[in-house]
């Protein structure tokens, strides 16, 4: 893992970065790394949360292990998966004298010797409905599984999804699953992704650092959105990835924070309130549908899908159409004026597509310095990438999707790049438009 280079942006550069951040239309382009997986509709995820809330309300206010609310939650998720074409199984166990359930769902196809799992715990504590902890992870994993069905995804790896019982009592359900999995079956697990609390009302963006490939998959997703992340430490070993990790399965996941306090530095880069817990309703009766940050839930749900699509090596249809490109190098001055590289588009009729692909290859020693825009022939700017003082990786090599349907296709399109901070240099290597 590359270590971040500690640096501070000059005040003037910060001002320029802030100005540039508002210079383009509000609807930013989406990196191809995110667009390769379908967008997970926030409304769908929240609809599942509403169902979990209704279940809790109708069953003594919670969805805890051994209670009717938990079994009703399992039945709800199972019915959705059965209807979507999954092979589902309920695994029973006993804890505290009560019967618990793990729900396991397998998507047909894929290499049975290379199994990618994603899971979340479905139970709440007894004091509340557990909508963030952990309806949020459960709903996102469910909706991603349903998206796999809608897309009829044909991944190289076999996909398996799980919803664990009795996590709140000490990871009981996931431990039971792992301990009862034959050694030969354990060896087939290519990875396990865990999602526990991903919609915290005062959210952070934390990534597990257990497996470098899984970790980088999530970090690349957020880098494409210019959202800084931090390594997850608050819940390390306290959620359902731990039993898998303990037997050597590669693990990873996301977390938006529990009862730790958000620092001033974290509030500065993520928004929210410094000096306040990431989730003030953690393990409390107020963990209801009102205890969710929609933006965090939306981003993290999309990240779940991105990881599933990427790590399962699913079949993705490459963009088709006519390609217009420019491979001439253009130097980007350090902390200087914006530069452009032009592409002349000819022979097209009407307007540009609503999913115009913009392939960018910029070599630079600190990509967080860069602000990148696509300029339409009439000068309209479409933001591809914002600057970020915490993004210390090299190079911007990505394909972005732009809704350019308001623009005439023919004409001179430009890639505009500006370096807004000192110390690092680079150049535009090449770029292309795919109509």
Residues forming the active site: 167
Write down the H helix ranges in 29-136. 32-35, 42-58, 68-83
pLDDT at site 347: 86
pTM: 0.67
Q: Quote the CA–CA distance of 70 and 424 in Å, as a whole number.
A: 54
Closest to 81 measured CA to CA, from 106, 52, 54: 106
d(CA 262, CA 134): 20
Residue 251 has φ and ψ, to the nearest 5°, of -130, 160
**Tens-digit pLDDT profile for the chain (435 aa)?**
222 333 433 333 333 333 333 334 333 444 443 337 999 999 999 999 999 999 999 999 999 999 999 999 999 999 999 999 999 999 999 999 999 999 999 999 999 999 999 999 999 999 999 999 999 999 999 999 999 999 999 999 999 999 999 999 999 999 999 999 999 999 999 999 999 999 999 999 999 999 999 999 999 999 999 999 999 999 878 999 999 999 999 999 999 999 999 999 999 999 999 999 999 999 999 999 999 999 999 999 999 999 999 999 843 333 456 889 898 999 999 999 999 999 999 988 888 988 898 989 899 999 899 999 999 999 999 999 999 988 888 888 888 889 998 999 999 999 999 999 999 999 999 999 988
pLDDT at position 320:
53
Question: Which pLDDT does position 284 carry in this prediction?
Answer: 98
Q: Which helix (H) or strand (E) holds 343?
A: strand 339-345
Dmax (CA) of the chain: 73
Q: What is the CA radius of gyration of the chain?
A: 23
Q: Which of 308, 302, 291 is nearest to 124 (CA)?
A: 291
Neighbours of 84 (CB within 10 A): 17
Please give the Cα distance from 51 to 185 (Å, whole number): 34
| Phi-psi sector, 179: left (phi>0), alpha (psi -120 to 50), beta | alpha
Rounded CA-CA distance 345/379 in Å is 15
What DSSP character marks residue 131?
Answer: I
DSSP 134-197: IIIHHHHHHHHHHHHHHHT---SEEEEEEEES-GGGTSHHHHHHHHTS-HHHHTTEEEEEEE--
Residue whose entry in the numeric block shows the structure tokens 């990148």: 372
Task: With CA atoms as reference, report the closest residue to 388 among 371, 365, 363.
Answer: 371
Contact between residue 114 and residue 157 where contact means Cβ atoms under 8 Å apart = yes
Nearest to 422 by CA among 5, 46, 9: 9
Quick one: angle between helices 212-224 and 294-311, nearest 10? 130
Distance of alpha carbon 119 from alpha carbon 64, whole angstroms:
17
């Amino acid at each position: 893992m590359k270590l971040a280079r500690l640096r501070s942006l000059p005040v003037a550069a910060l001002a320029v970065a802030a100005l540039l951040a508002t210079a383009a239309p509000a609807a930013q382009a989406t990196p191809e790394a995110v667009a390769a997986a379908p967008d997970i509709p926030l409304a769908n995820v929240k609809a599942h949360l509403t169902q979990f809330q209704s279940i809790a309300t109708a069953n003594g206010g919670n969805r805890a292990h051994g209670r009717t609310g938990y079994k009703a939650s399992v039945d709800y998720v199972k019915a959705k998966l059965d209807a979507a074409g999954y092979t589902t199984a309920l695994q029973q166990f006993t804890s505290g004298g009560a019967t618990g359930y793990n729900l396991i769902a397998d998507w047909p196809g894929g290499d049975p010797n290379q199994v990618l799992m994603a899971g979340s715990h479905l139970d709440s504590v007894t004091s509340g409905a557990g909508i963030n902890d952990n309806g949020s992870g459960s709903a996102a994993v469910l909706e991603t599984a349903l998206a796999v069905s809608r897309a009829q995804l044909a991944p190289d790896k076999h996909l398996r999804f799980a919803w664990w019982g009795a996590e709140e009592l000490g990871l009981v359900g996931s431990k039971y699953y792992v301990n009862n999995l034959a050694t030969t079956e354990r060896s087939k697990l290519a990875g396990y992704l865990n999602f526990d609390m991903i919609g915290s009302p005062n959210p952070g963006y934390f990534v597990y650092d257990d497996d470098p490939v899984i970790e980088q998959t999530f970090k690349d997703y957020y880098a494409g959105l210019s959202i800084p992340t931090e390594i997850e430490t608050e819940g390390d070993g306290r959620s359902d990835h731990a039993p898998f990790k303990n037997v050597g399965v590669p693990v990873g996941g996301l977390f938006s924070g529990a009862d730790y306090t958000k620092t001033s530095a974290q509030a500065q880069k993520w928004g929210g309130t410094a000096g306040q817990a990431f989730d003030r309703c953690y393990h409390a009766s107020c963990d209801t549908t009102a205890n969710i940050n929609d933006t965090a839930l939306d981003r993290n749900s999309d990240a779940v899908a991105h990881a599933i699509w990427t790590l399962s090596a699913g079949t993705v249809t490459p963009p088709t159409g006519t390609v217009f490109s420019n491979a001439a190098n253009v130097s980007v001055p350090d902390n200087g004026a914006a530069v452009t590289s032009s592409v002349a588009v000819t022979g097209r009729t009407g307007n540009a597509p609503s999913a115009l692909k913009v392939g960018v290859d910029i070599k630079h020693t600190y990509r967080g310095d860069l602000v990148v825009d696509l300029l339409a022939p009439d000068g309209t700017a479409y933001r591809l990438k914002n600057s970020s003082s915490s993004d210390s990786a090299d190079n911007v090599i990505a394909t972005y999707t732009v809704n350019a349907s308001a623009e005439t296709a023919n004409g001179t399109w430009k890639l505009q790049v500006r370096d807004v901070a000192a110390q690092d240099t680079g150049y535009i290597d090449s770029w292309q438009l795919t109509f």
